[in-house]
Amino acid sequence: GGMEKIKQHTFTLAHYTYTVLSNLRYTNGAPVVRIYNDTDFSNPDVQGPIINFNVLDENGEVLGFSQVDSMASLHNIHVRTGCFCNMGACQMHLDISNEDIQRNLQAGHVCGDNIDLVDGRPTGSVRISFGYMSSFEDAQTFLNFIIATRLSKSDTEIPFQSVTKPTTEPVPDEHLSVNNADKLSPILQILDGELRNNPFETETTGSWQPLEPEAESIRAAVSETAVPTCRKGGKPITVTKIYLYPIKSCSAFEVTEWPVGNQGLLYDRNWMVVNQNGVCMTQKQEPRLCLVNPSIDRKQKIMVIQAEGMDPISVSLEDNAGKETVICESKVCSHRVKTYDCGEKIAGWFSAFLGRPCRLIRQSSDMKRKSHQKNTKGLSPATNISLSLVNEAQYLLINVASILQLKEHISARLKEPLEIEELIQRFRANIVIDAPESFEEEEWAEISIGALQFQVVGPCSRCQIICIDQQSGERNKEILQSLSSARGRKTNFGIYLMNQPLRSSFSDILSVGCQVLPVLKENTEIQPPTSSEEKCSG
């Protein structure tokens, strides 16, 4: 039918989606989205088939675009986020001043990162686009995703009363000019009388003031607990579990004590599996990676890899990056890393288990990644801190108290409650601690564990990997949705840590049972508890 038909088809889908989105409301009358647009979606000659928006909570606060992106990926929906290489439009619609841009940069925000909120204000937005292959079912899938993740069943009855089911009849001229013979796509027919009778305004770009306060939502119980300025006495904070992940995205290897090197726990994420194009494979693309169990035998200097139905296979811990080894370049979270291939035998093992061509590669010891984390007070510059094949930082720490509080809300939404150990495994931390207060770790600036000093470099924003059962590889979307609901505007859980490069050639030891001494963000040290229990010397 040519470009004119394509224009009509794609605009119809965008017009339908825009109309429904504009009318979605929480039970207190608050809009679910804020749409950024320069037209009223009435003319395809001036409005393309895209919708730019941010999702709001019941109080009118913006949910970060990274959280929306993570949730959309669980529903197999691809969205674009950020400022879309159009900073001028971003400034105009999000009301970002030049001074705000400078403050965002000082907060560590750069183009393409996941810092979606700074001081509660959005740094970008979400965009959906329709093409000639898009269908009405695609539009409904997206709308159902928004409804499923933001509204209860009773909420969804209101907005859909405002529109009829799309038909193949032409839309009135004031909306879109379509020939009667056009059967290319379902056409939305807006009933003007119904829209006029809608109790809510369709304009979503203005600021919204909340109505009468509703009952406390689920997130009230999982609040961002403030840590007292100084804790005296009480239960000591200790390390309860230590995990390393020798092969990125594969199963954890639990230890009771372990050497700490310049990149974090020794051998943590030194290897990764790549596809035939050399691209890193994670559980997002291949959940069965969690069924691969690597273990480190330091005495025999080998890593033993096991999986159900496969014979165990071993890989040397010795660095084989000699003159005859081909150094290849790979990417971890857009950062380039130097690696070398571990050989045909182990490549065949992984290919047989995963059912697709893949290879095992190891980070080259003379080509270490440098941290891109912003430098903060008290440690050497971040450029001097080396990373293995991790995504963000050397260590990830979680708190059992936080897990227990979250477990209550997840269990309430699931038919079968999750065990605490299963949740700990899903969050794939290196260090698990037992602190008295849930989420108090988010108020720490630094911690010491034994003789080791760590800098807190920020919260861990969770993705769909926590939806994967680490024992079976099965997905459950409810986990991330529960976390999002419980924690409000973010899916943060756990904190990232860095430690200074060791000044000696000897490794320090991190051990279960070591006492954890935090320093608050206000640089007020929490007093050690009065206890006969000795502090672990590491």
- Of the candidates 528, 532, 538, 465, which has an alpha carbon nearest to the alpha carbon of residue 237? 528
- Of the candidates 295, 92, 315, which has an alpha carbon nearest to the alpha carbon of residue 205? 92
Q: 380 - beta bridge partners? A: none
Q: How far is residue 365 CA from its own chain's centroid?
A: 29
Provide CB contacts within 8 A for 477, sequence distance 6+: 74, 75, 464, 467
Half-sphere exposure in the Cβ direction for 531 (13 Å, CA)? 15
Yes or no: say if 480 and 205 are a contact pair by the CB < 8 Å rule. no
How would DSSP label each residue in 37-72? -SS-S--TTT--SEEEEEEB-TTSPBPPHHHHHHHH
For the question of residue 358 being annotated catalytic, the response is no
CA distance 399 to 437: 9
What is the DSSP secondary structure assignment for residue 447, as one 8-state letter? E
Output the CA–CA distances (angstroms, integers) from residue 283 to 353, 425, 483, in the order listed: 14, 14, 19
CA distance 372 to 392: 8
Question: Three-state SS for 327?
Answer: strand
Yes or no: say if 226 and 443 are a contact pair by the CB < 8 Å rule. yes
CA distance 98 to 48: 28
Catalytic residue (one of 83, 85, 250, 514): 85
Half-sphere exposure in the Cβ direction for 324 (13 Å, CA)? 3
Yes or no: say if 397 and 431 are a contact pair by the CB < 8 Å rule. yes
Catalytic residues: 85
